[in-house]
A and B are shown apart, each in its own frame.
Chain A
Amino acid sequence: MAEQISIFIENKEGRLAEVTAILRDAGVNIRALSLADTTDFGVLRLIVNENEKATTALREQGFTVGKTRVLAVEVNDEPGGLNQVLDPLSEQGVNVEYMYAFANPQCKNAIMIFRFDDLEKAKIILAEQGIKVVDKDEISNL
């Protein structure tokens, strides 16, 4: 199980750069990110090496930070690799809320971050399929 931090950002020029600068100054490394937005605001979703440090630094600067449990899944780096993960889930009615990719220099497989509508069920299915789920500590130590 991995933990994602989410940050509320208004759609204003330079706002994203401010967030990343805060993390830089706190010595936090960003592993993966995705930005979902509407016309007025966006939600920045981040996987970082040190969640607490990142959260504290961002909150100090007045940002709203949330935490979400997500799954970091190893995906075989070959054609059809993603389908090996998605097919068994969709067959059993688990829906992907969102997903984004993970930069992983130490592994030849890709890592994808998933938020599922039914996290527990997804975990069981992935375990049954022998698909590796990377945990929080592993992410921090990557």
Chain B
Amino acid sequence: MPIYDIDYETMPREGLEAIQLRRLQTTIERIYATIPFYKETYDKAGVKPSDIKSLDDLRRLPFTTKQDLRDNYPYRMFAVPMEQVIRIHASSGTTGKPTVVGYTKRDISTWADLMARSMAAAGATAGDIIHNAWGYGLFTGGLGAHYGAERLGASVIPVSGGNTKRQITIMQDFKPTILCGTPSYILHLAEVADEMGVNFKDLSFKSGIFGAEPWTERMRTELEAKLNLKAVDIYGLSEVMGPGVSVECVEEQKGLHIAEDHFIVEIVDPDTLEPVPPGDSGELVFTTITKEAFPVIRYRTKDVTSLNPVPCTCGRTHMRMNKPTGRTDDMLIIRGVNVFPSQIESVLMESREVAPHYQLLVDRVDNLDILTVKVEIDEASFSDDIKGLQAMEGKISHNIKEHLGVSAKVALVEPKTIERSQGKAVRVIDNRQF
């Protein structure tokens, strides 16, 4: 398979590291001068930009967390004036405020390049027709893939999410060859196709690029069998850039190549924050070294994975990360939407005017994530009126959808039936197998 950016993607380690260091130094100098948050934290840590003399010196810099980004909401982590920002995206808005990220013209171009690289890694060429089922909007998936497809010179169908039956008709008629989407939605789509009597073997797909939520090898086997294509995993997050931070190559499908000429990757022990040996699991940490508008230094992703430094047979020299296996915090990803238990809690407080005991149950039924919110009834909200109780469930469910953008089934349960653990409550029971 052709490599999109052969000079950079196959660069020997030594040259790559020299580029990384130069770009890192430039980034640190720039953010120290433009973003008060970094100046303050680096002054406090006693590190000056000129102290960064080697890649190892990166470890002298403090980490950046989601909370830091929230504290500086909306624009205080931007390193350029708004006149230079041409695009804004946002994360889903976790405990209240979303994370707002900005892109300069050059950032958008870099991102398009990286997505073009990713699509090429998945086997796409200029002659391909890309069916883009990621959502278009503040979420980075849709537009990220769109610009990448255009950069590659491929034809892109900006179908976005939803309208499943229509998507299947488009697949039959337009004959797209590359499929992009969240894996759970794509599996759902495959089932609807099945119900409609449409066999994916009669469609024209050769590859699928699936991401925005964790998925397993077992799911790959299922996707490939059902959809008759090669499935590759793509990774990214809006804080770092969006999709295209890393991607699997279609040749190996074993680990995601990190675009190391744009991002420096570390894996740290989430408790001690010390680096872990190569191959060991820990929290994924990224430093952006080419981004202009929204650089992040040692950003803790909370994703748990490990790195694979073994060179890949595809020819790309960039290091690979294994599929993320979980999260260091209690965030759930439900159908691609980030959900924190604390968000549910605030909806419950608002809906019932009392602090309730609750628990989130996540199941995967027919390849779709099903969120059930168990809420303990109390005498203040209890009545002998079944309709009233059902209306209360409906109201909470409606408010969750309104605030978080995910559908949830609300089930009232008896008081004290949600297990109390010592100290912190067990808020989440995730029955999905990743």
Which residues of A line the B interface, CB within 8 A?
4, 6, 8-10, 36-38, 40-41, 43, 45, 62-66, 68, 97, 115
Contact = CB atoms under 8 A, between A and B. Distances in A.
B178 interface: no
A40 B379 contact: no
30 contacts: A6-B382, A8-B382, A8-B389, A8-B412, A8-B414, A10-B413, A10-B414, A10-B417, A36-B386, A37-B386, A38-B386, A38-B389, A38-B390, A40-B412, A41-B389, A43-B384, A43-B386, A43-B389, A45-B384, A62-B414, A62-B415, A62-B416, A63-B415, A64-B414, A65-B379, A66-B379, A66-B383, A66-B384, A68-B384, A115-B384
B378 A6 contact: no
A64 B385 contact: no
Interface SS majority for chain A? strand
A40 B382 CA distance: 15
Interface string B153-185: 000000000000000000000000000000000
Contacts of A9: 414
Given A8-B412, A9-B414, A40-B412, A64 B384 contact: no
Nearest to B387: A97
A65 B377 CA distance: 10
The 4 closest A-B pairs by CB, nearest first: A6-B384, A64-B382, A36-B386, A68-B384
B411 interface: yes
Q: Which bracket fits the contact residues of B?
A: 10 to 19
Contacts of B382: 6, 8, 64, 66
A97 B388 CA distance: 12
User: Could you tell me the dominant secondary structure of chain B's interface residues?
Assistant: loop
Nearest to B411: A40
B413 A64 contact: no
B151 to A, nearest CB: 50
A61 B61 CA distance: 55
Given A43-B384, A43-B386, A62-B414, 20 more contacts: A4-B384, A6-B382, A6-B384, A8-B389, A8-B414, A10-B413, A10-B414, A38-B386, A40-B413, A41-B411, A41-B413, A43-B385, A62-B416, A64-B378, A64-B414, A64-B415, A66-B379, A66-B383, A68-B384, A115-B384
Nearest to B386: A36
Contacts of B417: 10
A11 to B, nearest CB: 10
Interface in B388-434: 389-390, 411-417
Interface in B117-172: none
A40 to B, nearest CB: 5
A58 to B, nearest CB: 11
A6 B416 CA distance: 18
Contacts of B389: 8, 38, 41, 43
A63 B415 CA distance: 7
A65 B379 CA distance: 7
B415 A6 contact: no
A72 to B, nearest CB: 15
Nearest to A40: B411
Contacts of B412: 8, 40-41
Nearest to B414: A10
A63 B379 CA distance: 9
A94 B326 CA distance: 58
A43 B417 CA distance: 17
Interface in B349-380: 377-379
